[in-house]
A and B are shown apart, each in its own frame.
Chain A
């Protein structure tokens, strides 16, 4: 043990060094966010609640019922009910359900979507009391989830 180490030990220098770190921090700006009071901001790429987009002008759904999202989903929580139109030979969307309770927000469905109809939005505050409420149909997906904000 060198003299320096000995002196460090005797005069409790290591402890004082620790104090020197923690002491000034007491008066520095806090880092934490006051989340429920101050709503959290998420970046534009955030994967949150799923949403089915509609054409902003006509209000019609952008979904072409191609079923790619349902195939892309690792969990298989998307269900596209569709029917082939006998005249135009095109798929027509009959119903769309998305089980948001099981979603792991991997964004594979949105990446598979050829028309940008399905999108994982930035909304993340959609906790509900009953899991069944997270079983969203087409109307619910177009409207987006009801966001419950914190109130005192």
Chain B
């Protein structure tokens, strides 16, 4: 009885709390890192006032957001307006239920359809954004919401197809098993599926509405997009969801293509001194690299236009990933299953 309690209630609960805390910390760290990295790219310093080199800036921001007046526009659709930020935050957290941070105990759940779960849950966030844009009853959020919706739907597809080609190779839907396959074969999947890797990450950037695909919130056109009318804590939820999604996409890229918690060249014996670094650290290092890439991209590129974005998604990524799938399947069929 106690054992069951431990196994099904206590342990998962502890893990969930740890993961949620980690994510909240990550969000704060990311806001800080974003400002600092982009600032340094732009030969300036970024926040410097709060704490040493502004390290406490996220805390100050959080406090500010918590205490800010919560403005609800008169014309807003109240229930939806309140519901949207909550709906956007929940799926963002939920994705982490299946992401393996390391071997055996370092994940909350290993369900055998893990990747499907991730795709399903992350699509759910679109609904919330659409609701948020709709509920404010204002022109800019409305357009932002529509753009966001169209964008996420059209990038979901190539993203899913990119994942399919990974699944074809790994022959498994569970995220843990995918990493284990990479360990067994000794190949990180990005080497076997470079096209899928690049497209997956680009689609991931588009999914999270980040630069250069940040049309839904384009400051210069839509003044912030779907969250224009939100303020205070509700705005913080949107913000948090965006950053958690970034972490999620980075983590997924690592799991699917960069061998998750594995060290570089997992089967090369003479590199075994790298094993002294715990697997979780490897995982986090790789994730941080992609998060940095996010910021680097933001500091470098202009923004796509709406129609061009759709064109890139439907005219380029979708056919390429489809072709990639077919080629992968064909190669596997002819050379592997013979």
Which chain A residues have a beta carbon within 8 Å of chain B's beta carbons?
Answer: 12, 15, 18-19, 21-23, 25-32, 34
Contact = CB atoms under 8 A, between A and B. Distances in A.
A59 B198 CA distance: 76
B184 interface: no
Interface in B286-338: 296, 299-301
A25 B44 CA distance: 10
A19 B299 CA distance: 9
B246 interface: no
Nearest to B42: A25
Interface in B26-51: 37, 40-45, 48
A25 B43 CA distance: 6
B44 A22 contact: no
B74 to A, nearest CB: 35
Contacts, number: 35
Contact of A34 (B42, B43, B48): B48
B43 A32 contact: yes
A47 B296 CA distance: 41
Contact of B296 (A12, A22, A29, A31): A22
A21 B41 CA distance: 9
B44 A30 contact: yes
* Chain A binding surface SS class: loop
Contacts of A19: 296, 300
A39 to B, nearest CB: 16
Contacts of B296: 19, 22-23
Contact of B300 (A21, A31, A32, A34): A21
A30 B300 contact: no
Contacts of B299: 22
Interface residues of B, number: 13
Contacts of B41: 22-23, 25-26
A24 to B, nearest CB: 10
B295 to A, nearest CB: 10
7 contacts: A18-B301, A19-B296, A19-B300, A23-B41, A25-B41, A25-B43, A26-B41
Contact of A22 (B45, B198, B300): B300
Nearest to B301: A18
Given A15-B300, A26-B40, A30-B44, 19 more contacts: A19-B300, A21-B300, A22-B41, A22-B296, A22-B299, A22-B300, A25-B40, A25-B41, A25-B43, A27-B40, A29-B43, A30-B40, A30-B43, A31-B43, A31-B44, A32-B44, A32-B45, A34-B45, A34-B48
B289 to A, nearest CB: 13
A80 to B, nearest CB: 45
Nearest to B302: A18
A31 B301 CA distance: 21
A28 B44 CA distance: 10
Contacts of B37: 26
Among the interface residues B37, B40, B42, B300, which one has the most CB atoms of the partner chain A within 10 A? B300
Contacts of A25: 40-43
